[in-house]
Structure 1
Amino acid sequence: MEKIRNFRDLEIWKLGKSIVVDVYRATKGFPKEEIYGLVSQMRRAAVSIPSNIAEGFNRKHNAEYRQFLYVALGSCAELETHVEIAHDLAFVMVAQRDELLERLDHESKMLRNLIKRL
């Protein structure tokens, strides 16, 4: 196992970043009137996940790091809700919803485990 030198080495950050890409792709086909609504909310919540992991990693104290991880965890829950709403509005299909929710569930579990270890 390689030593973790910066946040880019963290699997939890890599997964978070890939979720961002998936959300941007998923929201690309949303109705134009949603650009400042659901699209914006979903993208913001998605970007918040790896961003808070990265910012927390560079803090000096574990308590600060833990707080940023809790924010990332909250963003996961927020994004799960947005994905469900997007599905209810028929903006995303069942398979796409299920894939995003599965990845968010995995990310949330990883965040909880990391929080416990700090």
Structure 2
Amino acid sequence: MSAYQKYTELDVWKHSRALASHVYELTATFPKSEQFGIVSQIRRCVVSVPSNIAEGRGRLYKKETIQFLSIARGSLYELETQLYISKDLSYITEVQLSTCLKKIEALGKLSNGFIRYNNDKQE
């Protein structure tokens, strides 16, 4: 990975953007009464993932970069929890939940790898 690689070229950012689009489409089917409840919360945290990856990539110091990448990873866990709750409330099906969880797991692995890469590289 080039030291000058733009965040828009990172696989972890591309996958997080795709997840955000998928989740936006999924939550469009939620009840209107949830637009300012769980839908808003889910959308905020899924958008937080690529946003924090981008912000972390723009930081000058390794410690700051890793902090923002860790926030992005935390948002993935938050999203996962909210999707389980959505399934409990019958807003999504087991199949929809499973599809999302697979995407989240794959993105989590990419995120962990990117955090390790940033941890290992020289200041």
Aligned to 1:12: 12
| 4+ residue segments displaced more than 6 Å | none
Aligned to 1:64: 64
Aligned to 1:82: 82
Asked if the contact 1:4–1:10 (Cα under 8 Å) also holds between the matched residues in 2, the reply is: no
Are the structure 2 counterparts of residues 71 and 2 from structure 1 closer, same or farther at C-alpha, using a change threshold of 3 Å? closer
Aligned to 2:39: 39
Percent of aligned positions that are identical: 38
Where in structure 1 are there 5+ consecutive unaligned residues?
Answer: none
Q: Which moved more, 1:2-11 or 1:82-91?
A: 2-11
Q: Distance in 2 between matches of 1:116 and 1:6?
A: 18
Superposed CA offset, 1:9-63 (max 9, x none): 0000000000110110000010111001100000001000000000100111111
In the superposition, the TM-score normalised over structure 1's length comes to 0.95
Asked if the contact 1:73–1:108 (Cα under 8 Å) also holds between the matched residues in 2, the reply is: yes
Q: Distance in 2 between matches of 1:111 and 1:49?
A: 10
Q: Cα RMSD (Å) of the superposition?
A: 1.5
Q: How does 1:81-100 map to 2 (within 5 A)?
A: 81-100=81-100
Q: Distance in 2 between matches of 1:96 and 1:76?
A: 16
In the superposition, the TM-score normalised over structure 2's length comes to 0.91
Where in structure 2 are there 5+ consecutive unaligned residues?
Answer: 119-123
- Deviation, structure 1 residue 2: 8.1
Size of the alignment, in residue pairs? Answer: 118
Superposed CA offset, 1:55-103 (max 9, x none): 1001111111100000000000000000101011111111111011111
